[in-house]
Structure 1
Amino acid sequence: MSEPQKAAAPTSALDRYFKISERGSSIAAEFRGGLAAFFAMSYIVVLNPLVIGLGKDASERTLGIAPVAAVTALVAGVMTILMGVIAKQPFAMAAGLGVNALLASTIATTPNLTWADIMGLVVLAGLIMTVLVLTGFRTAVFEAVPESLKTAIVVGIGFFISFIGLVDSGIIRRMPDAAGTTVPVSLGAGGHLLGWPTLVFLFGLFFTIALFIRNVKGAILWGVLASTALSLILEAVVPSGSVKEAATGWSLNVPSLADMKFTTPNFSLIGSADLFGAFTHIGPLAASLLVFTILLSVFFDAMGVSVGLAAEAGTMKDGKVEDIDKVLLVDAFGSVVGGGASGSANQIFVESATGIGAGARTGFANIVTGVLFLLAIFISPLVTIVPFEAVAPALVVVGFLMIRQAVNIDWTDWGLGIPAFLTIIFMPLSYSIANGIGAGFVAYTFIRLVQGRGKDVHWLMYLVSAVFVIYFGMGIINGWTS
């Protein structure tokens, strides 16, 4: 966990409001953190439209690439700023990849369901979460979790974002299904590291590590900027193209200093969600199960990510995230706004850890990140100039910083050690923070019962564990109801 520097006396109203000096930070550090967080997250403006913008619904309608890109940047900017102003935490928000993939796959496999219908379900899930926050239930669940499991969540997220960095950079790749192998992933392409993009990642990784070792301020941001500069030079001299064209290409966006383009955004998707259309088109039971699935994923993702980020930023007191009620309220509102704009549920982004690693400690960093997202609505190069390979090293390094918390877990107690282990390993391997939390919770309640220590478990842990059992068995339940 990052230890805040000794607090200095506030020098302005801005400083006092965001607690910049109180948390041992500075305006310059917050700017660095905000920039780093934006660079780490900006890919979502390109990727979210590819995930949900092209799929046809029951009416043969697509959301469209340009409209989704516009609302993705808009909602990310607005929600990130709101999180900074209201909760005063450096937790940036954007469309969650887990939820948008769920929406896309559901549209593809569910007859009679439209995009307006499923976005309405996202809004409903957000409204339910808002009620759970306002009644104190969501915070109560948060506080019922044992400290060792909270620490395991931090460590699991560390492994998860490091794994994301390795996958995004192409260092780790999924084995093609046609290979007929039981090995799910491999090193690079065919077991070998190939291409200039890989070189950019390796340069960025070792350069960032060197800066950290030498205690250079803004090591994360300098690493991203240096890697981006190298990627621009390499692509101009020896073009690699996209990974879609060759295994040695860039993972998502090809870096280039294109002419500055000012675009007119298309906001036609805003307000198109149909709150109760799904209940008519696919039936109350199926629609309710979808709301439950969306709700559970977003509910626990936020809990896990906020713990991990707060631990790294040094904004936890007595094992609790500062202003957690406000954090969870804004997060819940992100689903309402994201669904209402048809851009998918907006969540606290785990890549915010990159901004924290670069110095962000307060919500002021969110103002910087949010404004850049709003500018990205109109200026396209802001989100296409930085390739995955330039940001991935920061994720790996920040993941390492979070993983160091593993020493604080009581591994000698099987009732804590096994659940912690399952929490940690499930997150990267299932590519889901919520899955890791669920595995840990279920294991914790089960082992405590076997140990004869059931009374030590908070009743909310039993309730949440039961909910996760239902969640993990959703495939079986859907089979029964179909």
Structure 2
Amino acid sequence: MSSLRTVNHLDLEPKNKLDKFFKITRRGSTLGAEIRGGIATFLAMSYIIVLNPLVLSGPDAAGNTLGISAVAASTALLGAVITFLMGLWANHPFGLAAGLGVNALLAITIATTPDLTWPEAMGLVVIAGLVMVVLVLTGFREAVFRAVPDSIKTGIVVGIGLFITLIGLVNAGFVRRLPDSADTTVPVGLGINGELSGWPTLVFVIGFFLTAILVARNVPGAILIGIVGATILANVLEAVFNIGPSVDDAGNVNPEGWSLVAPSMPEWSVPDLSLLGNFSFGAFTSIGSVAASLLVFVILLSVFFDAMGTSVGLAREAGNVDQKSGAIPNLNRVLLVDAIGVSAGGAGSASSTQIFVESGTGIGEGARTGFASIVTGILFLAAMFLTPLIYLVPFEAVAPALVVVGFMMVSQVGQIDWTDMGAALPAFLTFALMPFTYSIANGIGAGMIAYALIRTGQGRAREVHPLLWVVAASFVLYFGMGVFQDMLGISSL
């Protein structure tokens, strides 16, 4: 079900204007599959509307905060607008919203930099996005994509599969970080103190087997049915047992609670859009041009390769790859929409808006075109007014779909030629480091550096594309940022 598919329905006639515009039939999809896929993608990524405000809730160096309700509204609005753009212009089933990697970087590191304010931190994100726009328009970003060896491209698909599997298992509480694990010699463990317990875990287990059985039986809408079924069970259990979240508003911890939000009915709320346009380019004055430029470089490199890796993995999984050339249709548009999303996210104080790996859930449901993104965008708009709408669906109800889709993507590992060490080992590093470092960019960086060096060591340096050397050198700088900061006498970023 998940082996590499290619665009192979080009001879089929469209059924109507909608079909013709989105190429639904030509990509081997149906309107029903697109709708189901769009809903599944939204349900899989809607948690960001709650999580992003929590990540960005801390104060900046001046003690000012962004406001949780304002960040939530901005996150939902920007997710809707940029996802619409992806669907209408690039015609791919990708949902976009605030990226977790960059928002954590902003909250933990950048916004706490002495003399830097939240608007100035968001201004750095805007600049990173504008630089990406230039790189796309000049063809550099697509050229880098084409310079990546096929083995690493396959490694990216596999790595994303492992990554979203880990996200699903952690979100469900099935796998937990220390200190929840009883064995302190490992960084993660099974459940609570090595044991599975709690109603939310049961929801995940039941949801997983329901989804797996439906997928194995090729039932149409299997993934969405699994999510809906697990959601209903979760809401019933919450109503009966009043389980509550793992951490309540008072900070009380309940290890057997729902991982982020407890299922509840949505209520109408007026969105607070006060953060739109609340950014500044004053960082180059307040912390100096060198320090500000380094921060932009860190943001840029992260979002640049996160987007490239995610779009490669998802497009290949969806089969949106040309049979003859292996090219992804409208790739330049995909990359440009993502670049615009980064700047737009910064301009709206929601962090960079990026392609979400959870879009694989909708693809696993059958989504192949941008119409699925339109459906996802509409639901993001609804969530802006009904922000607690996503409280209906706890992490534990969506996690089974992420694990099943992860399996589908990992199955492509067989395409790697394991007899060619120079290609296989870099591919291995690519997919191994994505989940182990919780970063798509880290996996790609390690894989590219390894490919360049190992091929050279084999006496096959000519097989390394010149742009790959540029990328490898950039990642050496990225990974060694702390050393370079010390050399330049700049405080830790």
TM-score, normalised on structure 1?
A: 0.97
1:109-136: per-residue Cα shift (whole Å, max 9, x none)? 4110100111000000000000000000
Partner residue of 1:38 out of 25, 39, 42: 42
CA distance, structure 2, for counterparts of residue 237 and residue 268 of structure 1: 39
Partner residue of 1:263 out of 250, 264, 269: 269
1:12-45: per-residue Cα shift (whole Å, max 9, x none)? 1111010001111111111000000000010000
Partner residue of 1:137 out of 114, 119, 140: 140
1:396-424: per-residue Cα shift (whole Å, max 9, x none)? 00000000111000111111011011001
Partner residue of 1:451 out of 427, 451, 458: 458
CA distance, structure 2, for counterparts of residue 394 and residue 477 of structure 1: 42
Identity %: 60
Partner residue of 1:251 out of 250, 259, 268: 259
Amino acid at match of 2:237: L
Corresponding residue of 2:350: 343
Structure 2 residue ranges without an equivalent (≥5): 248-252
User: Offset at 1:322?
Assistant: 1.3
1:275-334: per-residue Cα shift (whole Å, max 9, x none)? 2x1111111111000000000000000110011101111101132221100000000000
CA distance, structure 2, for counterparts of residue 285 and residue 105 of structure 1: 20
TM-score, normalised on structure 2?
A: 0.95
Partner of 2:392, secondary structure, is: coil
Number of aligned pairs? 478
- Whether 1:389 and 2:396 are equivalent positions in the alignment is yes
CA distance, structure 1, for counterparts of residue 54 and residue 89 of structure 2: 31
User: Offset at 1:108?
Assistant: 5.3
Corresponding residue of 2:109: 106
Q: 1:408 to 1:157 in 2, by over 3 A?
A: same
Amino acid at match of 2:261: N
User: Offset at 1:381?
Assistant: 3.4
Contact residue 56 and residue 107 of structure 1 kept, 8 A: no
CA distance, structure 1, for counterparts of residue 157 and residue 149 of structure 2: 13
Q: 1:5 to 1:131 in 2, by over 3 A?
A: closer
Partner of 1:94, secondary structure, is: strand
Partner of 2:354, secondary structure, is: strand
Contact residue 107 and residue 114 of structure 1 kept, 8 A: no
Where does 1:71-470 land on structure 2 (aligned, <5 Å)?
Answer: 71-107=74-110, 109-176=112-179, 181-244=184-247, 245-256=253-264, 258=265, 260-275=266-281, 277-317=282-322, 318-470=325-477
Q: 1:177 to 1:383 in 2, by over 3 A?
A: closer
Corresponding residue of 2:14: 10
Contact residue 5 and residue 25 of structure 1 kept, 8 A: no
Partner residue of 1:65 out of 33, 57, 68: 68
CA distance, structure 2, for counterparts of residue 320 and residue 429 of structure 1: 29
Partner of 1:321, secondary structure, is: coil
Q: 1:392 to 1:5 in 2, by over 3 A?
A: farther
User: Offset at 1:160?
Assistant: 0.6
Amino acid at match of 1:194: S
User: Offset at 1:211?
Assistant: 0.2
Amino acid at match of 1:92: G
Contact residue 200 and residue 258 of structure 2 kept, 8 A: yes
User: Offset at 1:242?
Assistant: 1.2
CA distance, structure 2, for counterparts of residue 5 and residue 255 of structure 1: 42
User: Offset at 1:179?
Assistant: 7.4
